[in-house]
Structure 1
Amino acid sequence: MSELSQQDAVKKIASIIKDVKFAMLTTTTAEGHLHSRPMTTQQTEFDGDVWFIGGKDTESVADMRTRPQVNLAYAKPGDGEYVSLNGTAELVEDRAKLDELWSDTYKAYFEGGKDDPNIQLIKIHANGAEFWESDGKIRTLYQLAKGALTGQQAHMGQNDTVKL
């Protein structure tokens, strides 16, 4: 467990997930199986919560309605940064928040536009996260080669678990 303060932990996670357009959202199905699907992350400043727009008639929303524990996975492989965030889903009805998050891109999913009755705001309250940051591709390759040649453990960057 990290010694990062709550504020520093939020900042660290925010810096990694910033600009990652899609997250893999994992829910638990009625049969008890884990099911992941890509979701478009709303570009709001991460403060411990993550927002999505989904459909009320989707399996993911049905899963969250009865089993709200979820996991989000973010990846920036080009930068060697990854986050696994666990939290609790809340299904929210808030017109002002929808107005804030809405983009005309969603018209492709919701026939009635912003007034479509199937729109469901999803707020994930983060409980904690684990993150990985490598030192970059060249440094990582160097560390792997060094470890293979010397038998010493390679330093692959930072990995930490934080409570949010």
Structure 2
Amino acid sequence: MSEMTREQSLQHITKIIKDLKFAMLTVITDDGKLKSHPMTTQEAEFDGDLWFLGGKDTEQVRNMRARPNVNVGFADPGKGAYVSIEGRALLLEDRAKVEELWTDFYKAYFPEGVDDPNIQLIKVEAQGAEFWESDGKAKELFHMARAALTGRPTEAEDMGRNERVDL
């Protein structure tokens, strides 16, 4: 594994997640279990923070309020790219930021638009990330098939690149 600077790590993660429309946001429930929810991603360069809009009255927001440690997962199986970001969720009130993130897509959840009193701004401050990349499905399938036929496990380096970065 090569050592990447923080800036290089942020740029690389941006490259992987920039076109992905959805992420899975994982919270810790009252009974200590992990629960994931799909979230719409924002079209912004990853600078160490992720932004989402949620509902104040949802179980997800209630869980983040009580236990702010979260994880956000992104996947693009077609490109063989995956990112897991661990961080701390901050629940904020900032109308200007809500307006910046707002798209008509959100009307389905917040019928009163940016003035909907149930809108909760969620900022995830990334503390670390891990990403996996491969040359694509064909190469992965080849190495898995070879392992199945030969009985020898696939080497990690055959499956692509995996790095862990502190942010």
**Could you tell me the TM-score, scaled by structure 1's length?**
0.93
What letter corresponds to residue 156 of structure 1 in structure 2?
A: M
Residue 2 to residue 108, structure 1, CA distance change in 2 (3 Å)? same
Measured in 1, the distance between the counterparts of 2:153 and 2:111 equals: 58
2:127 is equivalent to residue 127 of structure 1? yes
Q: Is 2:162 the counterpart of 1:159? A: yes
Unaligned runs of 5+ in 2: none
For residue 89 of structure 1, give the secondary structure of its aligned residue in structure 2: strand
Q: Which amino acid aligns with 2:113?
A: G
Tell me if structure 2 keeps the 8 A contact 1:2–1:161: no
Deviation at 1:144, TM superposition (A): 2.9
More divergent stretch after superposition (153-162 vs 60-69): 153-162
Kept in 2, the 8 Å contact 1:132–1:160? The answer is: yes
Residue 39 of structure 2 aligns with which residue? 39
For the residues of structure 2 that align with 1:108 and 1:153, how far apart are their CA atoms?
A: 45
Aligned to 1:56: 56
Partner SS state of residue 159, structure 2? coil
Measure how far apart 1:128 and its partner are.
0.5
CA distance in 2, matches of 1:80, 1:15: 13
Larger mean Cα displacement after TM superposition, 115-124 or 27-36 = 27-36
User: Could you say which residue in structure 2 is the equivalent of 1:85?
Assistant: 85
Match of 1:5 in 2: 5
Letter in 2 for 1:60: Q
Q: CA RMSD in A?
A: 1.6
| Identity of matched residues, % | 58
37-46 vs 67-76, which moves further: 37-46
Q: Which residue of 1 aligns with 2:30?
A: 30
| Runs of 5+ unmatched residues, structure 1 | none
Q: Is the 8 A contact 1:27 1:63 kept in 2?
A: yes
1:76 pairs with 2:79: no
Matched with 1:109 is 109
Partner of 1:67: 67
Structure 1 residues 22-73: Cα deviation after superposition (integer angstroms, max 9, x where no partner): 1111101112111111011111111111100001000111011110000011
Give the Å deviation of 1:149.
3.4
Give the CA deviation at 1:110: 1.0
